[in-house]
Chain A
Amino acid sequence: MNVSLSMLLLIAACAAVTILPRVLPFLIIRNLKLPMLALRWLSYIPICILTALVVSNVLGENGPLSFDWQVIAIMIPTILFALWTKSLLFTVIIGVVLMAALRFFIG
Chain B
Amino acid sequence: MADVHASIGAEENDEMTFRQGVRDCIPTLLGYISIGIAAGVVGVAAGLSALEVVLLAVLVYAGSAQFIFAALVLDGSPAAAIILTTFIVNLRHFLMSATMAPHFTQYSVWKNIGFGVLLTDETFGVASGKVQQKRGLTSSWMNGLNVTAYICWIISCAVGALFGNWISDPEAFGLDFALTSMFIALLVLQLDAIESVKIKHYIRLILCIVILMVGFSFFVSSHMAVLLATILGATIGVVTEK
Interface residues of A (CB under 8 A from B): 1-3, 6-8, 10-15, 17-19, 21-30, 34, 37, 39-57, 59, 64-65, 71, 74-75, 78-79, 82-83, 86-89, 91-103, 107
Interface 1/0 per residue, B68-98 and A, CB below 8 Å: 0100000000010011101100111111111
User: Among the listed B30, B86, B112, B213, which residue makes an inter-chain contact with A18, where contact means beta carbons less than 8 Å apart?
Assistant: B86
Note all chain B residues with C-beta closer than 8 A to A54.
Answer: 180, 183-184, 187
Q: Known A17-B86, A44-B234; judge A59-B202 contact (CB<8 A).
A: no
Q: Which residues of B contact A (CB under 8 A)?
A: 26-28, 30-31, 48-52, 55-56, 59-62, 65, 69, 79, 82-84, 86-87, 90-102, 104-105, 109, 112-113, 115-117, 119, 121, 124-126, 128-129, 131-132, 171-192, 202, 205-206, 209-210, 212-214, 217-218, 222-223, 225-226, 229-230, 233-235, 237-238, 241
Q: Which residues of B contact A26 (CB under 8 A)?
A: 97, 100-101, 104, 112-113, 115-116
Query: Would you call A8 and B55 a contact (CB within 8 A)?
Result: yes
A18 to chain B, nearest CB (A): 5
- Is the pair A103, B125 in contact by a Cβ cutoff of 8 Å? no
Report the Cα distance A24→B101, complex, angstroms: 10
Q: Which residue of A lies closest to B95 (CB)?
A: A45
CB-defined A-B contacts under 8 Å, sample of 8: A22-B94, A23-B112, A26-B113, A30-B101, A45-B95, A48-B205, A88-B27, A88-B186
CB <8 Å contact, B188 and A79: yes
Interface contact A51-B206, CB-CB below 8 Å: yes
